[in-house]
Amino acid sequence: MEFTKKILITGGAGFIGSHVVRHFINKYPEYRIIVLDKLTYAGNLKNLDDCIDKPNYQFIKGDITDKVFITNLFEEYAFDGVIHLAAESHVDRSIISPDEFIYTNIIGTLNLLNAAKNIWKEMDGKLFYHISTDEVYGSLGATGYFTEETAYDPNSPYSASKASSDHLVRAYHHTYGLPTVISNCSNNYGPYQFPEKLIPLIIKNILEGNPLPVYGKGENIRDWLWVGDHVSAIDVIYHKGKNGSTYNVGGNNEWKNIDLVNLVCTLVDKKLNRTEPTANKLITFVKEQQRNTLIL
């Protein structure tokens, strides 16, 4: 079969990435989808078990921080597009090990940009799509939403590294004419999410009878986005996004952390057929200063 496009999806064995891969493979059988993943703790090939027999799927294990490897990969496959999801992505881990976030999120993105810039002699039909986070905007207040015009105000090594990679993508668009789009999403949730993130962590800890850590008084507000809705937005942005533009993707679904944890407790109790509220007794309030000692 002759494919009309060859698309590289980095971080494709991870949580969001595996959903993107599955969607593109099934919806666009005329696209050849090359999945690149380092297979760290957050990447799992089992997430893609239902894709391995598809004729337009190919998996490659590799590290985006390896400049020579990335250059050779672009030369061999001559990709038409990149959907870049590979990233270290957990705030608390970035507090403990910031170096990993700098290497992967900044140097890794730089390597991909340089490879695209050097290989794509003809830019028509090419696209570098960088998927980022709304963490680059800082903390959301009690009212209002982040917009594409919101000033960057990163507050953690993770968000600072993602902000830097966003700026690099914009710089390569304006400096070298590289065709790019960026999207900044809110907190995703859904199947295959690694249990360091809030919702799967709370579910896992309830089932195991472990404490449910909530920072401060749980007053921090987050917008929550179903991963399937995010994937639909990624599809639209990839195919219809304006070159050089940035798009925010959210769920219009804001919750205080404590309210969300209480809701998950109620739902899990119901799922377990408990007649009395039980899970919320495991809630443990943790000082913000303890974030550097906990992996959540």
Tell me the whole-structure pTM to 2 decimals.
0.93
Inform me whether the pLDDT recorded for 189 exceeds 60: yes
Inform me whether the pLDDT recorded for 145 exceeds 90: no
Predicted confidence (pLDDT) per residue in 255-267, tens digit: 999 999 999 999 9
Find the catalytic residue in 37, 63, 135, 166: 135
Inform me whether the pLDDT recorded for 291 exceeds 90: no
Given this model, what pLDDT does residue 287 score? 83
Inform me whether the pLDDT recorded for 295 exceeds 50: no
Given this model, what pLDDT does residue 91 score? 87
Total Cβ atoms within 10 A of residue 76: 10
Active site includes 134?
yes
Q: Put the strands of the sheet holding 127-133 in their side by side order.
A: 57-61, 31-37, 5-10, 81-84, 127-133, 180-185, 245-249
Inform me whether the pLDDT recorded for 292 exceeds 60: no
Find the catalytic residue in 37, 63, 88, 134: 134
**What residue has token string 């593109």?**
24
Inform me whether the pLDDT recorded for 162 exceeds 70: yes
- Indicate the helix (H) or strand (E) that contains 189: strand 187-189
| Average pLDDT, integer, range 119-147 | 89
Q: Are 250 and 145 in contact (CB under 8 A)?
A: yes
* Strand 254-256, strand 221-226: pairing: antiparallel
Alpha carbon distance 192, 87 (integer Å): 16
Predicted confidence (pLDDT) per residue in 163-175, tens digit: 999 999 999 999 9
Q: Are 17 and 11 in contact (CB under 8 A)?
A: yes
Inform me whether the pLDDT recorded for 154 exceeds 90: yes
Active site includes 276?
no
Q: What is the mean pLDDT of the chain?
A: 94
pLDDT above 70 as % of the chain: 96
Inform me whether the pLDDT recorded for 90 exceeds 90: no
**214 or 140, which is more confident?**
214
Alpha carbon distance 170, 178 (integer Å): 9
CA angle at 285 for the pair 279 and 288, rounded to the nearest 5°: 140
Find the catalytic residue in 28, 129, 158, 192: 158
Residue ranges of domains in the chain, CATH in brackets: 5-189+224-252 (3.40.50.720), 198-219+256-293 (3.90.25.10)
Given this model, what pLDDT does residue 293 score? 43
Inform me whether the pLDDT recorded for 294 exceeds 60: no
71 token code pair: 């250059």
Farthest-apart Cα atoms in the chain, separation? 65
Half-sphere exposure of 125 (CA within 13 A, CB side): 9
Binned at pLDDT 50, 70 and 90, residue 296 comes out as very low
